[in-house]
Structure 1
């Protein structure tokens, strides 16, 4: 019977996800959640590195050290790009969670 096949097809295209789709979604979620966590720890590390640099730049010796300023710039840029990625991944994660 071709009939019961048609029935199951309409079911899975409804709001309820099929088992396969749910599995795919879960995999995607796990990956995104891990990415968000990675970004968050990278943000923390970068921020503390920046804080350490800024403390050194506040000293008389540090204030005249060009290398510290260059490193500070680099870290700031790194922080910006990680923040951007974190933002994008978080948004995607929200979207995937809504699909569930």
Structure 2
């Protein structure tokens, strides 16, 4: 989760404004409600949960659907995923067991 948070904080936010997108706002609220008590109020916890969903589905179609549903910028999510991979590789190179 630490690599997910660091990656999401290392790039420009992939979260688009949901002022005019009720579907994306509802999706985010639903995801926030699944987070542990207290985590639903944290944008960082939301970002980690989104990155974990992104990493879980490796297909371009699934990732595009995630971006559509959640109101995310696909290119920024791809950039965050690349940064995450670099962070994980660096940590593994230092002997840490991260995934």
Provide the TM-score with structure 2 as the length reference: 0.33
- Give the number of the structure whose residues are more often helix, by fraction: 1
Bigger radius of gyration: 1
Provide the TM-score with structure 1 as the length reference: 0.33
